[in-house]
Structures are given as C-alpha cells and as structure tokens.
Amino acid sequence: MPTLAVAAAIFRSSPKLRSFSSLSKIMDNVTPPKPGFRAASSFVYDKAFVNGEWVAASSGKTFEVLNPANGKLIGSVPDMDATDTENAIKVAYKAFQSWKETTAKERSALLRRWGELMVENKEELSKLLTTEMGKPLAESAGELGYGAGFLELFAEEAKRVEGDIIQTPIKTRRLLVLKQPIGVSGMITPWNFPSAMITRKAGAAIAAGCTVVLKPAEDTPYSALALCELAKEAGIPPGVLNVVTCSRDNASQVGRALCESPLVTKMSFTGSTVVGKLLLQQCASTVKKVSLELGGNAPFIVFQSADVDAAVQGAMGAKFRCSGQTCVCANRIYVHESIYDEFVQKLAATVEKDLKVGDGIAPGTTQGPLINKKAVEKIEAHVQDAVTKGAKVVCGGKSKGGNFFEPTVLSEVTGDMRCSKEEIFGPIAGILRFKTEEEVVGLANATSSGLAGYFYSRDLGQIWRVAERLESGLVGVNEGVISVPDAPFGGWKESGLGREGGRYGIDEYLEMKYVCMGGLN
Ligand code: NAP
C-alpha cells in the first residue's frame, strides 16, 4: 500500500494536483483521513484564488518565492496584473450581492469554522509560515493563534452589529439608524505577519457582510493561499474571499486597480507609511473609505522607579520578536540616567544568553533571518551610522551571512542617529539616556509616527500621566508585548487611519444609514 510520503510525492510532481481537494482524493485512496489531518505539502498552492477556484495569471506569468533562511526556491505563484485584479473585483462585486443578504448568524458560523480550521492545522500552517517568512516556529504558531483569534472575535461581533432608534423631534416621524456592509473591500498586506494581517482585515469584512479582494506581499503568498483553502473548506462561498498574487513589479498596478475601481468601496492597507500615503492619494479618485496600518517608531521608556529586570524582559519581547521586524517593535529605548548602565549590561547579557540565531525551522532558534538581503544591508547601515556618530556596540553588530544578523545592543545612542529617527525593522536595540519625565515624554512624541509606546514605572501617578501623554494608538505599561485580537490596533499621526481588531474593527466595513419614516399620524 502506498505510504503518505508516496502520496505527497505524487502531489508534488503533478502541478494539476496542487489543491487540497485533489490531494485529499489521493489520500483517501491510501489511508482513511483523520479529521483535520493534512500532509505538510498540502498547503502549498501554486495558483491564486478567485471565485472559489485556483487560477493562473491571464498572462500565464509566475514569480518565484524563496525561503529567506537558505535562499532555496519554495515554488512559484501567478504574477497577476491589473486585468486579473479587475476580474477579481467583478467576481467580488457579484458575490457581494448575495453575501450581503446572509444573516449575521450564518456569517458567524462560517467564520468560526474558518478559525477552528486554522487552529486544527496550526502545526502545518506554522511550518509553511516559517518557511516563507523566516520567523521561528514558536512565533509562527503564536501568529496562527493570534490570527485565528480574529476570526473567533469577528464571528461574535458579526451578531452585535446593531442600529439605533433616535428620539424624534417631530411627532409624525420615526428616526432610525441602520448599519450595512460597505461593499467590496480591497486589501493589501505585508510579509511580516502573513497570516494574522489577513484575518484581522478579512475577518472583520466578511463578518460585516462585505466581500474581499486581497493582495498579499510578494515574499509571503503561501500563507494567504492556505487561508483561502481553509475558508473554502469552512463553507465560505465562492467570490467572498479572493486572493490575487503578484510580484513586486506588478504591485503598483494591482494596488492602483484596487484603489481606483468604482466597484471597490473600501480599501485597507498594512505596510510602510510611504506606500500608505500613495494608496491614500489613489483612493481619493473614488472617495473610498480607507484604513491604514502603517509604520511605527515606538519609544520604550524605563523610568527610575521601574523593576529593571522586568523592563529587560519587556524589551526582549518588544525589540527582538520577529527579529525586530514588527511595526510595534521598540525602536528608541530611553533609560533613566540613574539605571542606564545596569539596564544596558542586563539587556546585553540576556541577549547573549537567550537569543539563538538560525533557521526558524530548527529547534531552539529564537531569531530567524531577516526577510531579504536589502533588509540586512539596511541594518548594517544603521549600525555603521550609529557607531560613526558615537554609539558603542555592546553586543552583536554584524551580519552572520545570508539574511542573518546578530541581535545587537547599542549604547550611547543619541537622537541624531538613523536608528532613532527611522523605523529600524531589525534586531538593533539602541539605548538613549534621559533625565526627566517631561524631557522623555517630549522626545518620545517628537516623531511623525504614533503606533505603539511602552514604559516601565512603579509610580502610579506617573503611570497615568505618561499613558495619557504618549501620542500613540497603543501603550504598553510594564508590558512589552500587548497585541491581542480583543483590543483595538491602530496608529495616531502618520502611523495610520482607523482601527483593526476589538469590537471597533468591524466598523471599518460598515456604512451608516439614517432612515426617516414620516407620515405617521
Ligand atoms: P511595504 O513595502 O509598504 O509593503 C506592504 C504591501 O504593500 C506589500 O503587499 C507590497 O507588495 C505592497 N506594495 C508595495 N508597493 C506598493 C504599491 N506601489 N502599490 C500597491 N501595493 C504596494 O511594507 P513592507 O516593507 O512589506 O512591510 C513593512 C512595513 O509595514 C513597516 O513599515 C511596518 O511598520 C509596516 N507594518 C505595519 C503594521 C501595522 O499594523 N501598523 C503591521 C505590519 C507591518 P510587495 O510585497 O510585492 O512589495
């Protein structure tokens, strides 16, 4: 009898069989499938997903996806363009006409099942995520849990979309407020959270009764496509979720097609501030509702009264998670002058003891590769710039070959260095000194970003003052990792528009309608 390995090999060698339903037919012949069981390769799809089907680009072009840990080819996926995107938009528009008529209870059940399938297949999805993105397996599993959490949350929130009846100033009238799905929602997502950034958006949209056309990042299309298969298996109808894959070369035309289409009434983007601003301009042509989750430059402040050991642990999570490649990563670590040397020494010792650089798939790895060579070059340039301007390398500081970079602690960092002024997006902890609360809050806010901020203090008055004065959408007080599906996520200033997650996330996909019923004698 053929083994599962043989079945997987048949699957790998036959492009026509690259869909779960085809694979499961092979599997059915060789072994009774266990509920939720899949072979590792069953989540690698080499087609985009439109109208519930696996489709190629109309041009027939594809692009390659590489494993950032070793540069090896994972596979190729369709390199779609504006024409393919317009087709997917039409599909989503048609599907919207029936999807918006479903009840919240129906949508809720499907979303819940989609989330359950993510959890049931967490192990294989984590391997896939690590293979294309690089983060350690444990972090990938964490992202899958976080991502599934949004589907669970929005399955619940779908049923809580309520309107209002307003007190009427005119006796013959009754005034009502309805909340209705906004329509086809375009989405563009980044590579650093290739699964959770999708469910955070698509979960809310689908719960509200909207349909979706989503473009994942060039580096990480596979996690997006795997989610499509699970959505299909959960029973989400064709056309409700569509994923258009494309290379970096085609990203601007696909983005423009989404932003400028009159059939798309909502655009949601997570990525860099530069691209966010461009998309916002493009959306102006059709006055779309826009959500933007953009870059950050998070301050992490350690006050004199802080528990230094707890602050070190908090900084480890806030700085080195995902090798420093999250939008909420601590970017500028301000430490009170009285505890500066102690904090620097303890942080460097913890980095050297606890962090292990390597392929995210290997057991024990805590620091995977950066996403590509360009990212490594940027981090090298940051270190060089800081050292030239007077910073000291306490540990790390060098590339380790390939896309790997040593987790790095820099002391004597000042505000004029690139690592203080720009989003680092890599494993460099730059530590600055401060003297007073007023001074450090001013410094923390002196940036055009306003996504996350963190501080450690045991002074209750100071905790309230600083939490209220930090100009950011998220504040961690004595905590370094604070994102949960249940809380609103989003930035102030140039870090974005709108909120995702929590009970607020669904509002981004709803329109309000005032209905006046007159002639009521
Ligand atoms: P990015 O270059 O802006 O890319 C994000 C997405 O936009 C990718 O899908 C990318 O496609 C696409 N894109 C790039 N240029 C485009 C264009 N001209 N038109 C349409 N789409 C375009 O950002 P990134 O470097 O991948 O991600 C890192 C950034 O995202 C950081 O600034 C980080 O802070 C931010 N981020 C923010 C949040 C948040 O919630 N606030 C969460 C995660 C990340 P390609 O991949 O094909 O280039």
pLDDT tens-place string over residues 424-441: 999 999 999 999 999 999
pLDDT at residue 36, as a whole number: 37
CA–centroid distance, 255 to ligand 1, in Å, is 11
Q: Examine the pLDDT at 135 and tell me if it is beyond 50.
A: yes
pLDDT band at residue 37 using 50, 70 and 90 as cut-offs? very low
Q: What is the mean pLDDT of the chain?
A: 93
pLDDT of 24 over the 60 cut: no
Give pLDDT tens digits for 319-340. 999 999 999 999 999 999 999 9
**Mean pLDDT to the nearest integer, 162-186:** 98
Atom of ligand 1 minimally distant from the CA of 500: 40
Q: Is 329 a catalytic residue?
A: no
- Looking from the CA of residue 276, the nearest atom of ligand 1 is 3
**H-state helical runs in 179-220:** 196-208
Pocket test for ligand 1, best of 79, 244, 275 (most atoms within 8 A of CB): 275
Instruction: Give the pLDDT confidence of 192-241 residue by residue, as tens digits.
Output: 999 999 999 999 999 999 999 999 999 999 999 999 999 999 999 999 99
Residue 408: the pLDDT is 98
Tell me if 245 CB under 6 Å of ligand 1.
no
* Model pLDDT, residue 115: 98
Beta bridge partners of residue 270, listed in sequence order: 293
> Which residue in 124, 139, 157, 293 is the catalytic one?
293
For residues 234 and 227, give the distance between their C-alpha atoms in angstroms, rounded to a whole number: 10
Instruction: Name residues whose C-beta falls within 8 Å of residue 64's C-beta, 6 or more positions apart in sequence.
Output: 73, 75, 76
> In Å, how far from its chain's centre is CA 175?
39
| Cβ of 293 less than 6 Å from ligand 1 | yes
pLDDT bucket at 41, cuts 50 / 70 / 90: low
Distance of CA 279 to the CA centre of its chain: 17
Dump pLDDT digits (tens) for 491-501.
Answer: 999 999 999 99
Q: By 3-state DSSP, what share of the chain in percent is helix, strand and coil, each rounded to 5? A: 45, 20, 35
pLDDT at 167: 98
Mutate to test the pocket of ligand 1, among 188, 248, 292 (most ligand atoms within 8 A of CB): 188
Give me ligand 1 centre to Cα 270, in Å. Answer: 6
In this prediction, residues 248-256 reach a mean pLDDT of 98
Q: Are 23 and 42 in contact (CB under 8 A)?
A: yes
Any atom of ligand 1 within 6 Å of the Cβ of 194: no
**Ligand 1 site, residue 143, Cβ cutoff 6 A:** no
* 487 contacts 495 by C-beta, under 8 angstroms: no
Q: What pLDDT is stored for residue 481 in this prediction? A: 98
Q: How far is CA 282 from CA 28, 53, 90, 487, in A?
A: 48, 29, 19, 30
Give the pLDDT band of residue 39 (cuts 50, 70, 90): very low
pLDDT tens column, 355-390: 999 999 999 999 999 999 999 999 999 999 999 999
Pair 304, 466: CB distance under 8 Å: no
For ligand 1, say whether the CB of 139 is within 6 Å of any of its atoms. Answer: no
Which atom of ligand 1 is the closest one to the Cα of 258?
A: 20
Q: What is the pLDDT of residues 81-130, one digit of tens each?
A: 999 999 999 999 999 999 999 999 999 999 999 999 999 999 999 999 99
CA-proximal residue: ligand 1, atom 40 (nearest): 293
- Tell how far the Cα of 68 is from the centroid of ligand 1, in angstroms: 17
Per-residue pLDDT at 487 exceeds 80: yes
Q: Find out whether the beta carbon of 295 lies less than 6 Å from any atom of ligand 1.
A: yes
pLDDT at 373: 95
Segment 133-155 mean pLDDT = 98
Query: Do 241 and 49 contact (CB within 8 A), yes or no?
Result: yes
Per the annotation, the verdict on 123 as an active-site residue is no
- 221 close to ligand 1 (CB < 6 Angstrom): no
On the question of pLDDT at 312 being above 50, the answer is: yes
Where residue 32 falls among pLDDT bands split at 50, 70, 90? very low
Return the pLDDT at 33. 33
Active site residue: 322, 327, 395, 419, which one? 327
| CA-nearest residue, atom 42 of ligand 1 | 327
Give the pLDDT mean for 250-275.
98
What is the reported pLDDT for 28?
32
pTM of model > 0.75: yes
Using pLDDT thresholds of 50, 70 and 90, give the confidence band for residue 16. Answer: very low
Whether pLDDT at 5 is above 90 = no
pLDDT at 14 exceeding the cut of 60: no
